[in-house]
Amino acid sequence: MADKKVETNNLSDDHVAKKPKLDESPDENPHEIHSNIKDLSTFKVEKILNNNTKSKIVCLQGTFSNADGAGLVILEKTAFEEDNLKCNSKYFTSSSYLKKIFHNDIYGNYEYFPVLELNSIKTTVIHPATEKHIEKYCVQNPYIVDETPDVYQSIVLPYIIKEQFDLQWVYNILEHKSEVDRILFEDPDPKNGFVLLPDLKWNGITLDTLYLLAIVNDRNIKSIRDLQGDHVRLLKNIYNKGCQAIEEKYGLTKSQLRIYLHYQPSFYHLHVHFTYLRHEAPGIHAERAHLLSNVISNIELLADYYQKVTLPFIVRETDKLFKVLEDNNILKKSSIKD
């Protein structure tokens, strides 16, 4: 398992000294639980943070009896895999069980229990979870903020530097310390290169929910706000080589992919999301997703477009940033003048 590494990240030197308190690990070996965990019998649920009946994802906060600190368990019922449903279906065998609830004339209601291997629940465990992780997975009231360049420089950037999530998992991927066998494509060029691999949100199997992430090698780009003319090559490289690798492996062409960046992202190291167009992944809506092709085109038109533009983003009520923006009267102000 990767050692915890104190690495100068994409932010100022100052940031290293003032590493975000919220993200400090409460014990020496924060990965311990992941090397030993066999089942979830040691997890004690304390709070249901979110239960989304549409996406069928539940986020639970609790503790593990064998480890200190808060933990999060995120359970997701996965989509059907078409290959398993086609002829010679794995779903319809005599080892499955059909329980009748009632029938009325030609209509029957049943509960169906297919074989165990088809009943898996995608599970993410975050331990030790910080206050900021817990906030991220809670249902909360969202608000939209029109972030002018001035608001970014004076309020948002200082907040990001102080409070951002730890990026160790990103560096572990770039340094081949974690998820090495999951890498689909890699361009090692330090300026224009990136690593492409399945996102944490994807089980890596069900094509209908395909979700990959391209993480750039350059550690000096926090988000689209930092993108300038000399990043066009990097972005085009991600677009072209990312699409090619996905087509070769999964048979989906670039016109079947939604390729975008988040603003604001959760993690301030530039990365690009690749999802299947048919899949309604979280975070694909207008208030957060910026299509890579638009981003490239904007920078080609105006090299410092993202330093000049007003960028709307979503802030949630319990985010510390919400309070800072409210105190500065930013939430009520509109950047659109009559």
Residues labelled as active-site residues: 271
Contacting ligand M7G (CB under 6 A), which of 122, 127, 132, 201?
201
The reply, when asked if residue 112 is annotated as ligand binding, is no
Residue 169 found at the interface with ligand M7G (CB under 6 A): yes
Choice between 60 and 129, CB closer to ligand M7G: 129
Q: How many residues bind ligand M7G (CB under 6 A)?
A: 13
Handedness of CA 150, 156, 162, 164 (dihedral sign): negative
Helix (H, G, I), strand (E, B) or coil at 245: helix
Of 200, 212, 208, 202, nearest in space to 79 by CA? 208
Tokens representing residue 199 in the block:
């996102």
Residue 265 found at the interface with ligand M7G (CB under 6 A): yes
- Least distance between ligand M7G and beta carbon 182 (Å): 7
The reply, when asked if residue 191 is annotated as ligand binding, is no
Peptide bond into 198 cis (omega under 30): no
Residue 55 found at the interface with ligand M7G (CB under 6 A): no
Residue 283 found at the interface with ligand M7G (CB under 6 A): yes
Q: In whole angstroms, how far apart are CA 282 and each of 201, 288, 298, 324?
A: 9, 10, 25, 26
Choice between 66 and 266, CB closer to ligand M7G: 266
Choice between 90 and 182, CB closer to ligand M7G: 182
Residue 49, CB-side half-sphere exposure with 13 Å CA sphere:
20
Choice between 184 and 330, CB closer to ligand M7G: 184
Residue 305 found at the interface with ligand M7G (CB under 6 A): no
State the helix-helix crossing angle for 232-250 and 292-301, rounded to 10 degrees.
Answer: 160
Give, as ranges, the residues between 208 and 237 that touch ligand M7G (CB under 6 A): 213
Choice between 180 and 302, CB closer to ligand M7G: 180
- Enclosing H/E stretch for 301: helix 292-301
Estimate to the nearest angstrom the gap between the alpha carbon of 160 and the chain centroid.
17
- Least distance between ligand M7G and beta carbon 28 (Å): 20
Residue 262 found at the interface with ligand M7G (CB under 6 A): yes
The reply, when asked if residue 107 is annotated as ligand binding, is no
DSSP 130-182: PHHHHHHTS---EEEEEE-HHHIIIIIHHHHHHHPPP-HHHHHHHTTSSSGGG
Tokens representing residue 106 in the block:
């030609």
What residues are designated binding site? 169, 179, 199, 201, 262-273
What residues are designated binding site for substrate? 169, 179, 199, 201, 262-273
Under the rule (CB under 6 A), what is the footprint of ligand M7G?
169, 179, 197, 199-201, 213, 262, 265-267, 271, 283
